[in-house]
Amino acid sequence: MSNISAHSGSGQNSDSAGRLLRSIFTYVALVFYSLGILFPLAWLSYTALKSTQEIFNKDPWVLPAAPHWENFRNAWFGMSGEPGLGPYFGNSVQITVITVFLILALGSMATYALTRFRFRGADTLLNLFISGMVFPIFLAVVPLFLLLNQTRIPGIAPRGFVNDYRGLIAVYVAYSLPFTVFVLSGFFRSLPRELEEASALDGASPWQTFLRVMLPLAKPGLIVAGVFNVIGIWNEYPLALVLLTDRSRYTLPLGLAQITQRQQYSADWGALFAALFVVMVPTMLVYLFFQRQISEGLTAGAVKG
Amino acid sequence: MAFSDARQREKPRKRRVDWGTVGFVATLLTPGLLVYCLLVLWPMVQSFYVALHRWRGVSGNMTFIGLENFAHLPQDDKFLPALSHNFAFFLMIAASVLTLSLFFANVLSRPKTGPNRLFAGDFFRALFLFPNVVSVVAVSILWMFIYNPNWGLLNKMLRRVGLKEWALTWLADPHTSLPAVAVTYVWYVLGFYILLFRAGIQNIPAEVNEAAVIDGASDFQLFRFVTLPLLNDITRLAVIYLIINSMNIFALVWIMAPPDSTGNATQVMLTYLYQEGFVNSNFGASSAIGATNFLIVMTVTLLLQRVWKAREA
């Protein structure tokens, strides 16, 4: 690395020359890495508008001659007898919304109980929840599948909970609790104790204190936990792969993987690029709006875990 | 159970059981705890129990066979190769992730003002973290497109610059499939490790760096002899993450280069677990793979903690 040797030389001139060289090297590296991320994404975006012939015969850095918007129609509604992403998108929205709502409800209830009330075992239980962050999911995958498959409740789930969104959602909630409790416990702990006293003195019931006073104050924590869980559930693959076997019940990641595998043989590549684009847009939007919360949550979770 | 409201902690002598509060706390706690115990803790424990049985097919009978599932693994023609692929994967990603993330974290820690400032640092930070929030399935498919032998970005570029013979069938060739997945993995996670190291660098007190600069340390010396040693804990954490993630690699491999398409060159522990459990319905053997994986990760992690601490002392 020439910049280092240049730098270790004495004298003002070689010093600033070394600095300049190092600076150039730094920016070249940064730009190179940025292009490594941006170019594939850009390529994906404009290739979604190309015809399959163009994808095969033209250079990949050439923009589409004319936009093939029908790629998006084919991706969404399906092509040549294959199902499109539309239904999977709907499934994923449904599952994500319900799951994240339940995670935040159960997570904030449990965290509130464990951080704002002193009783024997409270810290142990809190640690038990948080330790779930290091449990590997794959270890539980076989027993989990068998449990959901064999739990049959006449009238409610006569054929078990595999392919049943209630089963998948319950599993998602359970596996998201450790991180959620971990994030929320930091926020709940930081709230001053006088708030509960004042609220109780004003005649509020414990539930009113929790819902009307404490939850609104923990809102920043709920946002971090919510954003994280939305991304996590929206993207989740291995548990859905195991717990959903019926194609019509697939979530978006499963559906996309499935369409790509099937399409390898009939190959409408333009529509596949469009499908991939559709899958990535929601996460891009969430990231644009919540970038700060996401890096906060990642840092907190990483250093703790 | 000594149950009391938070504000009574200061006067423990007046502690009394307030049943209204007990009921409230129990109501708050029960749903989460129930779901967590039933669907997280119980299956974890149960997996070790299932691993001790021969159990084929969803409706088949469970026969207790002790440690036979585990004893069988070393003789199995897929298990040890799978483990070695996990290890090779670890070497590939650890070397590149540690070098690159330390370099970029150091660069991105430069101040926003002053002579050594970094231009557009916030932009780069946000951009580098972005792949991390993309679905692993989308990342896999994007890179399958990049690696496509006929029209993929990589081969089109190679042919354009005259490296025709370099344009391989990256994901199907047993020699290149695992490295190709490793490159994708680094692209996917690097931003997270940059974030991790950057958080560590930000925690180093400014006086430490200033003192080193006053003593005449060059930027490289500052990094090598001040920053790096002070990042020891973070580096250990990063290595542990890399070990865990290499042992648990599944989705990228399963989608991009499933072992059946590479002559098992990309067979790793979890693809093998998945095949045994959910393709062959061999639940006992599958659980034994999972348990072995878990035990290996635990042992290696604990050993590493020990050795690392001992070296430090």
- Domain topology for B71-312: MetI-like fold (1.10.3720)
Nearest-angstrom CA–CA distance, A175 and A177: 6
Q: Where are the domains of chain A?
A: 2-77, 86-304
Q: What pLDDT, on a 0 to 100 scale, did the predictor assign at position B137?
A: 96
pLDDT band at A13 (very low <50, low <70, confident <90, very high): low
Whether residue A174 and residue B20 make contact (CB cut-off 8 A), yes or no, is no
Nearest-angstrom CA–CA distance, B213 and B206: 11
Instruction: Give mean pLDDT, residues B166-181.
Output: 93
Q: What is the DSSP secondary structure assignment for residue A117, as one 8-state letter? A: E
Q: What pLDDT, on a 0 to 100 scale, did the predictor assign at position A304?
A: 57
Q: Is A258 on the interface with B (CB under 8 A)?
A: no
State the smallest CA–CA distance between residue A79 and chain B in angstroms: 18
Q: Which residue of chain B has the CA closest to A4?
A: B220
State the smallest CA–CA distance between residue B175 and chain A in angstroms: 22
Give the 3-state secondary structure of A243-270: HCCCHHHCCHHHHHHHHHHHHHHHCCHH
A86-304, superfamily in CATH? Answer: MetI-like (1.10.3720.10)
Tokens 């708050």 map to which residue? B28
Instruction: Give mean pLDDT, residues A244-253.
Output: 94
Q: Nearest-CA neighbor of A70 among A38, A48, A37, A97?
A: A48
Nearest-angstrom CA–CA distance, A39 and A63: 13
Nearest-angstrom CA–CA distance, A174 and B109: 37
Q: Which pair of structure tokens corresponds to residue A141?
A: 């995958």
pLDDT, tens digit, for every residue of B268-284? 999 999 999 999 989 99
Q: Which pair of structure tokens corresponds to residue A208?
A: 């009113």
pLDDT, tens digit, for every residue of A283-295? 889 999 998 888 8
Q: Which residue of chain A has the CA closest to B285?
A: A142
Whether residue B58 and residue A149 make contact (CB cut-off 8 A), yes or no, is yes
User: Three-class SS of residue B56?
Assistant: strand
> At residue B164, does pLDDT exceed 90?
no
pLDDT, tens digit, for every residue of A174-210? 999 999 999 999 899 988 888 888 888 888 899 999 9
pTM of the model: 0.90
Whether residue B124 and residue A4 make contact (CB cut-off 8 A), yes or no, is no
Q: Which pair of structure tokens corresponds to residue B49?
A: 């129990």
Q: What is the DSSP secondary structure assignment for residue B168, as one 8-state letter? A: -
Instruction: Give mean pLDDT, residues A27-37.
Output: 96
* Furthest C-alpha separation in chain A: 85
Range with the largest mean pLDDT of A15-19, A114-118, B27-31, B158-162: B27-31
> At residue A72, does pLDDT exceed 80?
yes
User: Three-class SS of residue A212?
Assistant: helix
- % of chain A surpassing 70 pLDDT: 92
Q: Which pair of structure tokens corresponds to residue A165?
A: 């969104």
Indicate the average pLDDT of chain B.
89
pLDDT, tens digit, for every residue of A118-164? 888 999 999 999 998 888 888 889 999 999 998 888 888 888 899 99
pLDDT band at B217 (very low <50, low <70, confident <90, very high): confident
Q: Which pair of structure tokens corresponds to residue B17?
A: 């059981």
Nearest-angstrom CA–CA distance, A46 and A61: 9
Beta bridge partners of B282: B56
> At residue A48, does pLDDT exceed 80?
yes
Q: What pLDDT, on a 0 to 100 scale, did the predictor assign at position B111?
A: 80
Q: What are phi and psi of B129, to 5 degrees?
A: -80, -15
**What value of ipTM does the predicted structure carry?**
0.89
Q: Which pair of structure tokens corresponds to residue B189?
A: 């996670």
pLDDT, tens digit, for every residue of B38-75? 999 999 999 999 999 998 876 777 889 989 999 999 99
Tokens 């499963």 map to which residue? A254
Q: Which helix (H) or strand (E) holds B63?
A: strand B63-64
Beta bridge partners of B5: A117
Q: What pLDDT, on a 0 to 100 scale, did the predictor assign at position B143?
A: 96
Nearest-angstrom CA–CA distance, A188 and B264: 49
Q: Amino acid letter at B227?
A: T
- Classify residue B74 by burial, with Cβ atoms within 10 Å: 0-12, 13-18, 19+: exposed
Q: Which pair of structure tokens corresponds to residue A284?
A: 């891009």
pLDDT band at B19 (very low <50, low <70, confident <90, very high): confident
Contacting A residues, span 170-229, partner chain B, CB-CB under 8 Å = 170-171, 173-175, 177-178, 181, 193, 196-197, 206-207, 210
Q: For chain B, first and last CA: distance in Å?
A: 44
Q: From its phi and psi, is residue B231 left (phi > 0), alpha (psi between -120 and 50) or beta?
A: alpha
Q: What is the DSSP secondary structure assignment for residue B163, as one 8-state letter? A: -
pLDDT band at B81 (very low <50, low <70, confident <90, very high): very high
Whether residue A283 and residue B150 make contact (CB cut-off 8 A), yes or no, is no
Nearest-angstrom CA–CA distance, B251 and B255: 6
Contacting B residues, span 60-99, partner chain A, CB-CB under 8 Å = none
From chain B, the residues in CB contact with A180 under 8 A are none
From chain B, the residues in CB contact with A276 under 8 A are 138, 141-142, 145
Q: What is the DSSP secondary structure assignment for residue B5, as one 8-state letter? A: E
